[in-house]
Amino acid sequence: MTVTILRIVATAFALSFTTGGQAQQPQEYPSKAIRIIVPLSAGAGADIAARIIAQRMNEHWKQPVIVENRPGAGGQIGTSAVVKAEPDGHTLMVQSSSHSANSAIYKSLPYDPLSDLVDVAMLGKTPYVMVSAANGPYKSLKALLDAAKAKPGELAFASAGMGTSTHLASEYLLGLAGVRMIHLPFKGSPEALQDVRSTWR
């Protein structure tokens, strides 16, 4: 996270203060502590990114920057808290790409992702890796898919939650391979990884 990114973020906030009937532009930003809500579990990729940028923001602006995890409901709990917060630029959100999928997955959301939120900056890109317990029977992707084909609908895969990018990426892979597996959604990737790790113990 560089000073350049922070300047982009600060500029975007300043511009957002000029829109909306309730928002008022403060004389100096930030004028108080900044809260970054992460609608995912602690230790998730978005949480790590939030904590890195929070540290840089604190060093740059000399104001407290607090990261608050509010996982659950596919990110809806944390996102709703951001939408309901005072629109003064002091409550931010760091979310994964799964945020864009919620409107297609859920019949209704307690917020409008297009009108209630404004994208400020992309913080990074994350590759997807499929893992299995080290002492489990699957040592390669081929071995897993072969087993899934032999036992359709019996093997399970874990994800960071319904509609998350890890869920959608897995379903896409299974669709390409023509196999069926049971989806086990967790509150976040740390919980999913912990369960995978302990499955074969």
pLDDT tens-digit readout, 106-155: 888 999 988 999 888 888 887 888 888 888 899 999 999 999 999 999 99
Looking at the structure, tell me whether residues 82 and 167 fall in a common domain. no
Looking at the structure, tell me whether residues 47 and 100 fall in a common domain. yes
Residue 40: Cβ-neighbour burial (10 angstroms; 0-12, 13-18, 19+):
buried
Per-residue tokens: 31: 């004028």
Looking at the structure, tell me whether residues 101 and 145 fall in a common domain. no
157 located within any domain: yes
Domain total in the chain: 2
User: Is 176 in a helix, a strand, or coil?
Assistant: helix
Domain that holds residue 173: 141-199
82 located within any domain: yes
132 located within any domain: no
Quickly count: other Cβ atoms within 10 Å of residue 106's Cβ: 14
Which residues are CB-neighbours of 68 under 8 A, at least 6 positions away? 35, 36, 37, 38
pLDDT value, residue 67: 97
* Domain final position from 83, 105, 127: 105
- 173-196 tens-digit pLDDT: 999 999 999 999 988 888 888 888
Euclidean distance between CA atoms 99 and 129, whole angstroms? 20
Cα 45 to chain center, whole Å? 7
